[in-house]
Amino acid sequence: MEFHWAALFQSQEAILWKVVVPPILYFAHGYLATWMAVAALFRPYNAYFIPGTKIQIPLTPGIFPKRRAKLAQAVAGTVTDTLLTPHDIKAQVENLLTEDNIRLTIGLLVDSVLKEFRDTTKLHRLASDIAELSPTLLEHFVTSSIESLQAGTDKKVATVCEKVFDQVVLTTRISLEQANEFASRILEAFATPPKVRAALISILSPSNISSLEESISAHASGPYKLLAKIIGVKRVCYEWRNFLEKEPEEADKIIADMTKRFGIKDQLALQIANFELRSLPLQTVNKFKANMVMFVETFLVEHKDDIVAAVRKIEGEAMSSVRQAIVGFNPEDIPEAWLERAKQDLSQFLLSYLKRELGELLEQAIPKLGMYNVIAQKIDLFSAQQLENLIKKICKQELQALEWFGGFIGLGLGFFQIVVNAIAP
């Protein structure tokens, strides 16, 4: 039997094309198609046009570069609406808002500030900057306070005056030495012999003398009424008045001598030293306080221009005082116990404040942060290549698996093609 080598080679070639080649071609086709689909997500980076026309070639640029703005909005919406909601932010802040964390934060802040004060160069620069700003701040504070007071919207002046009255004026006691000084000034200015003589002459007027005589006749008992008639009170008063008017020098000497002999100064000083505002009726004290507040407010409003001008005149002194106060500050002079107590007080105040106001503060702060716009703008500013690198960095293995998956689908189709060829050659 003759062996036909040509037929054998032809049959092997047919088997190769029907059995081996289809799976390889289908695998290559599936892998290449999937690779091109993945690549079309990112590339090309820019749009291309048919040469000589303005017709844009389809699928240029890639899907992600072309839809970058919508992608940015979608990612931002997902993050702010699902992943990082205001409720999540509030819950995280509340978890961090503990007494230990607040104390640690306040401690670091205070230590950092005190450390800056140890730097001489920074301290002098800070002193100069604040000193230059202090006159402006002082003038603005004085002007705005007086204007608010004038408009009736500011109660700080009244509050300060009331506190000064309650804590200083109401509790002030004058020493006996100061009372003697006051008594001397009163006698020298208001109770001099000529002024006392003039007051006596005014009191001993004819109508007052007649009233005195009528009062004695009406109210004095029998013996005293008889004594008054024997002495002649009316005649004595007229004689005393004539003496005061006609002999002023002698009268002044008598009044001065009587003031000294009677110890008027000592008695007046003793009354001043023993006087307390708290001993007066409460209604009188409150009225006195209200009058003092009204006086201060009226004075400030009426002398606004003079006060502002005075503030401007002391700009140099204000700057110098502020500068010296800051430069002369030495953190080492602060007692450690006081510093720790201050940190603890600040921590407790801040903790109680945040616990009370945290919800409202976050409601106001979170919308102002604009997280949606920040995320959207950040992603929109990515270049096409940066966007591709970012996505591939996140899901590189998944994209490669997708490409191999396309290849294996093609391989399966290749084997399916062999079965089809075997059934229907």
Residue 291 has pLDDT above 60, yes or no: yes
| Rounded CA separation 137/400 (Å) | 66
Domain boundary among 227, 255, 275: 275
Domain boundary among 217, 245, 275: 275
Tell me whether residue 69 is in a domain: no
Question: What pLDDT was estimated at residue 230?
Answer: 76
pLDDT range class, residue 119, cuts 50, 70, 90: low
pLDDT range class, residue 117, cuts 50, 70, 90: low
Tell me whether residue 221 is in a domain: yes
pLDDT tens for each residue of 45-68? 777 788 878 787 777 777 777 777
Tell me whether residue 218 is in a domain: yes
pLDDT tens for each residue of 74-92? 777 777 777 667 777 777 7
What is the DSSP secondary-structure string of 256-319?
A: HHHHHHTTHHHHHHHHHHH--GGGS-HHHHHHHHHHHHHHHHHHHHHTHHHHHHHHHHTHHHHH
Tell me whether residue 200 is in a domain: yes
Are the C-beta atoms of 252 and 201 separated by less than 8 Å?
no
Containing H/E element for 65? helix 63-66
Average pLDDT in the 404-417 region?
78
Tell me whether residue 53 is in a domain: no
Which class for 406: exposed (0-12), middle (13-18), buried (19 or more C-beta within 10 A)?
buried
Question: What pLDDT was estimated at residue 103?
Answer: 83
Count of structural domains, the chain: 2
Domain boundary among 218, 245, 275: 275
Closest CA to 414 of 1, 17, 114, 81: 17
User: Is the backbone peptide bond immediately before 65 cis, with ω within 30 degrees of 0?
Assistant: no
Q: What type of residue is 156? A: K
- Of the candidate ranges 4-13, 208-217, 283-292, 408-417, the one whose mean pLDDT is the lowest: 4-13
Average pLDDT in the 401-419 region?
77
Question: What pLDDT was estimated at residue 123?
Answer: 66
| Rounded CA separation 259/243 (Å) | 18
Which domain covers residue 419, as residue numbers?
Answer: 5-45+383-423
Tell me whether residue 419 is in a domain: yes
pLDDT tens for each residue of 165-220? 888 777 777 888 888 888 888 888 888 888 888 888 888 888 888 888 888 777 77
Does the global pTM surpass 0.85? no
Residue 252 has pLDDT above 80, yes or no: yes
Question: What pLDDT was estimated at residue 15?
Answer: 61
Tell me whether residue 339 is in a domain: no
Tell me whether residue 377 is in a domain: no
